[in-house]
Amino acid sequence: MRARHGLVLLGGIVIVVGVLLVAMRPVQAQSAIQIVSEEINVNFPYSVDFDLSAHSEESLITSIRLFWQAGPEDVFNVRVLDVVPAQTVSVAVPLNALFLDLPPFAQIAFRWQIRDEQGHELVTETRTVEYQDTRSDWRELDNEHFRMLWYGYDEAFAHELYQIVEDAYFRLETAFGVELERRPTVVIYPDRQVFAEFQMSVGNGYNVIGRYFPGHDITVNLVSPDMPRSVYAETLAHELSHLYSDNFYVGFTSLPLWLEEGLATYNEVTSRVDNLARVRQAASAGNLISFVDLPNAIRSPNIATTNLAYAEGATVFEYIIESWGQQGLSDFLGAFRRTSSADEAMSTVFDQGIVAFELGWRAWLGFPVAEVPQLLPTPTLRPFDFPTPVFMPPGGS
């Protein structure tokens, strides 16, 4: 079940074409509408351009629609094109990659629907075009679980990166207890400038070095030669953890954000020692962020608070593994397919609510306390009870 699979190293240049021509296919003889030409041009990092010419033997073409889907979890979108009725019509459809927030190597599925005045209709089969970053000579290392795209490193270093991703993948598979249904793509850029180009388009800062793109099964990472190994190893594992988690919870609820980031941070592995030290230091100084405050702290504008929140979340998973083992972790993660409440998941799996859990975690850290802050109980609505209007003076309470 956990067998490792051989590397497939595609020799030479995998992707260099700037223009991808999707082969014209002969249309069924009975159709009155024919495709004359079709071209899909990947204009990275700006757009994917679809060009089509179609011809009707017997009538005037009156309608052309492009159906497209950006990523396997997207719905099919439709673009209705302006057509001046004619026997032969041509259309050009640019999809704006920046607006769609497409990661490099996103898979775009598409099909055409063409109709003429006499009611003939041609619907092409659904095909996929890859939004390739055509500026570099990408190479690929893959197995049946994931594929890694890279360029600009020597082979030995690429294999080192591949090993990091593979280890992270199998750690996640063990944690969640299931394999991913779709194979993720890990894209690695060697150059900060090139990596930053598409980051800028989505408003991310220069300091971002890894990103997971929900709905695309793609992480995009920067590994530059001047980085310490721990930095890129942790980034690759962290982003893959978000991807794994997002796939695991598709159609279900999800982890609360502080646990989601905690899990991703825990999966970095090499940061565990530092994180535990950071959390213990905060505990000894009486500065731990209580669990009830972690949902806000995790996106705090104060970077020290955010870092501590990430570190606390990571140690929560360490605590779970040490106390309840691998099965306890899988059960805990699985519980969030049924609830988004940490309190409920902890009660179900560990037989203790979030307050008892936090007390146990603090004791495990070596800094036991008698009590921790609690959320006020949610008021229960009783039928036939009408809310009393309350006047709040300006200036508030």
CB of 54 to Zn ion, least distance (A): 46
Record the tokens describing residue 351, joined without a space: 């037989």
Residue whose pair of structure tokens reads 């995998």 in the numeric block: 14
Stretch that binds Zn ion, among 55-63, 255-263, 287-295, 345-353 (CB under 5 A): 255-263
Tell me the three state secondary structure of residue 99: helix
Footprint of Zn ion on residues 125-154 (CB under 5 A)? none
Q: Which is nearer to Zn ion, 208 or 276 (CB)?
A: 208
The size of the interface with Zn ion (CB under 5 A), counted in residues, is 2
| Structural contact between residues 298 and 289, judged by C-beta atoms closer than 8 angstroms | no
Q: Which is nearer to Zn ion, 261 or 358 (CB)?
A: 261
Minimal CA–CA distance to 345: which of 229, 263, 265, 223? Answer: 263
Record the tokens describing residue 148, joined without a space: 């890694």
Stretch that binds Zn ion, among 6-14, 59-67, 133-141, 263-271 (CB under 5 A): 263-271
| Structural contact between residues 42 and 94, judged by C-beta atoms closer than 8 angstroms | no
CB of 305 to Zn ion, least distance (A): 15
Q: Which is nearer to Zn ion, 54 or 237 (CB)?
A: 237
C-alpha dist (Å) from residue 331 to 2, 98, 125, 195, 327: 19, 39, 42, 37, 6
CB of 41 to Zn ion, least distance (A): 34
Stretch that binds Zn ion, among 111-119, 183-191, 222-230, 262-270 (CB under 5 A): 262-270
Stretch that binds Zn ion, among 28-36, 55-63, 180-188, 260-268 (CB under 5 A): 260-268
Q: What angle do CA 64, 67, 71 make, to 5 degrees?
A: 160
Stretch that binds Zn ion, among 169-177, 253-261, 266-274, 347-355 (CB under 5 A): 253-261
Record the tokens describing residue 98, joined without a space: 């920046």
- In this chain, which residue has its C-beta nearest to Zn ion? 264
Q: Which is nearer to Zn ion, 186 or 264 (CB)?
A: 264
Compute the distance between CA of residue 114 and CA of residue 343 in angstroms, rounded to an integer. Answer: 54
Footprint of Zn ion on residues 44-73 (CB under 5 A)? none
Contacts of residue 363, Cβ cutoff 8 Å, sequence gap at least 6: none
C-alpha dist (Å) from residue 77 to 68, 338, 345: 5, 30, 37
CB of 345 to Zn ion, least distance (A): 20
CB of 260 to Zn ion, least distance (A): 7
Footprint of Zn ion on residues 75-104 (CB under 5 A)? none
Is the bond into 45 cis (omega within 30 degrees of 0)? yes
CB of 62 to Zn ion, least distance (A): 49
Convert 363-384 to b/e letters by CB count within 10 Å (16 or more is b): eebebeeeebeeeeeeeeeeee
CB of 262 to Zn ion, least distance (A): 10
Stretch that binds Zn ion, among 40-48, 125-133, 200-208, 257-265 (CB under 5 A): 257-265
Our finding on whether 243 is near Zn ion (CB under 5 A) is no
CB of 310 to Zn ion, least distance (A): 8
* Chain centroid to CA 110: 21
Compute the distance between CA of residue 303 and CA of residue 296 in angstroms, rounded to an integer. Answer: 13
Q: Which is nearer to Zn ion, 110 or 176 (CB)?
A: 176
- Which residue type sits at 306? T
Stretch that binds Zn ion, among 183-191, 216-224, 264-272, 320-328 (CB under 5 A): 264-272
Q: What percent of the chain is helix, strand and coil (3-state, nearest 5)?
A: 35, 25, 40
Q: Which is nearer to Zn ion, 133 or 261 (CB)?
A: 261
* Identified binder of Zn ion from the candidate list 93, 264, 282, 342, rule CB under 5 A: 264
CB of 205 to Zn ion, least distance (A): 14
CB of 255 to Zn ion, least distance (A): 11
* Chain centroid to CA 61: 40
Residues in contact with Zn ion by CB under 5 A are 261, 264
